[in-house]
Structure 1
Amino acid sequence: MTQKTEKQKVLTTQESSLLEQIKLLTKKKNLNNVTRTKAYLDFYLANTEIHWAFLGHMVSRNGGWNMTDLKGEILSRLLSKKESEWFFAFLERGNWLIFQDVYPQFLLYQESRKKNKPFFYLFPFLGVSSFMETVWNYFWDHHDEYILTIGLVINEQNYLEKRVLQNPTYKKVFNSFEFKLQDILSFNHILFPCGKKQLIGQTLHHFEVLKERISLGIRLYKVLFQDEEILKKVKEWAVKHPHTGSRKDYWSDIFNEINEELPRSFYQLKLQACQLRPGTRKIYSPRLEHAWKNVTHEVAEQGDWLCDWHIADFLKQNDEKINGEIKKDYCKTLERLELTALAKKAVSKFYKNYIASKLFSSLIGILWALIHLTG
Structure 2
Amino acid sequence: MGRWEQSKCFEKDDAVLLDSLSDVKKELKKKMKKKSGYLLPCLSENDKQYIDLIREQTKQLNQNNVTRTQAYLQFYLQYPEIHWALLGHMVSRNVGWNMTDLKGELLTKLLPERDQKAFFSFLERGSWLIFQDVYPQFSVYDLSVRGSKEMFHLLPFFYTSTFMETMWRYFWRSGDSYTLAIAMVINEQSYLEKGLIQNHHFKKNVTGTVSFKMYEFLRLNNILFPYYEGEKAEKASLVGATSRHFTSLHERILFGKNLYSILFQREEILARVLKWAHECPHTGSRKDYWPDLFNDVNESLPRSLYKRRVKNCLLRKGAKRLYSPSLKYAWPNTPHEDTKSRDWFEDWRVLDYIYKEASFNGEILNNYCKTLETIELAVMAKEALLLREEE
Cα drift, residue 178 of structure 1: 1.7
Contact 1:7/1:125 (CA < 8 Å) preserved in 2? no
* SS across alignment from 2:258: helix
Where do 1:265-304 residues align within 5 Å? 265-304=304-343
> Separation in 2 of the partners of 1:119 and 1:98?
21
Q: Tell me which amino acid in the other structure corresponds to 1:326.
A: I
Kindly provide the CA deviation profile for residues 157-186 of structure 1, in whole angstroms up to 9, marking residues without a partner as x.
000002100001101211211211121122
1:50 equivalent in structure 2: 82
Q: Shift of residue 302 of structure 1?
A: 2.1
Gaps of 5+ in 1: 349-375
User: Which whole-Å CA distance do the structure 1 matches of 2:178 and 2:375 have between them?
Assistant: 36
Superposition TM-score, scaled by structure 2 size? 0.86
Q: Aligned match of 2:152 in 107, 117, 120?
A: 120
Structure 1 residues 1-375: aligned runs within 5 Å: 1=31, 7-171=39-203, 172-195=205-228, 196-316=235-355, 318=357, 322-346=360-384
Q: Provide the rounded CA distance (Å) in 2 between the counterparts of 1:31 and 1:177.
A: 30
Q: Is the 8 A contact 2:62 2:68 kept in 1?
A: yes
| Structure 2 Cα separation of the partners of residues 181 and 80 of structure 1 | 13
**2-side partners of 1:45 and 1:144: how far apart?**
18
Structure 2 segments unaligned to the other structure (5+ residues): 1-30, 229-234, 387-391
Give the % identical residues.
51
Partners of 1:7 and 1:124 within 8 A in 2:
no
Aligned to 2:6: none
Scaled by the length of structure 1, the TM-score of the pair is 0.90
Letter in 2 for 1:330: Y
Out of 195-204 and 141-150, give the one that drifted further.
195-204
Q: Residue 163 of structure 1 contacts residue 301 of structure 1 at CA under 8 Å; is this kept in 2?
A: no
Aligned with 1:268: secondary structure?
Answer: coil
Answer whether contact 1:204 1:216 (CA < 8 A) is retained.
Answer: yes
Q: Deviations over 1:283-303 (max 9, x none)?
A: 000000000000000011421
Cα pair distance change 1:346/1:177, threshold 3 Å: farther
1:344 partner letter = K
Q: Secondary structure at the match of 1:305?
A: coil
Question: 1:135-167: per-residue Cα shift (whole Å, max 9, x none)?
Answer: 001100111011000000000000000210000
State the superposition RMSD in angstroms.
1.5
Shift in alpha-carbon separation, 1:179–1:321, aligned structure 2, 3 A: closer
- Alpha-carbon contact 2:159-2:340 (below 8 Å) kept: no
Counterpart-to-counterpart distance in 1, 2:341 and 2:374: 41
- Answer whether contact 2:40 2:156 (CA < 8 A) is retained: no
Residue pair 2:226, 2:276 contacting (<8 A) in 1 also: yes
Alpha-carbon separation, structure 2, partners of 1:344 and 1:264: 14
Measured after TM superposition, the shift of residue 317 of structure 1 is 5.7
The number of residues matched between the two structures is: 348
Higher helix share: 1
- Post-superposition Cα deviations, 1:173-217, rounded to whole Å, max 9, x if no partner, equal 112112111211221100000113300001011100001000000
Give yes or no for contact 2:195–2:341 (8 Å, CA) kept in 1. no
AA matched with 2:50: L
Counterpart of 1:87, as a letter, is F
Range that drifts further, 321-330 or 278-287: 321-330
Q: Aligned partners of 1:10, 1:121: CA distance in 2, in Å? A: 9
CA separation in 2, counterparts of 1:121 and 1:5? 17
Stretches (4+) displaced over 2 A: 1-10, 345-348
- The structure-2 alpha-carbon separation of the partners of 1:21 and 1:326, relative to structure 1 and needing over 3 Å to count, comes to same
CA distance in 1, matches of 2:285, 2:180: 31
One-letter amino acid of the structure 2 residue matched with residue 228 of structure 1: E
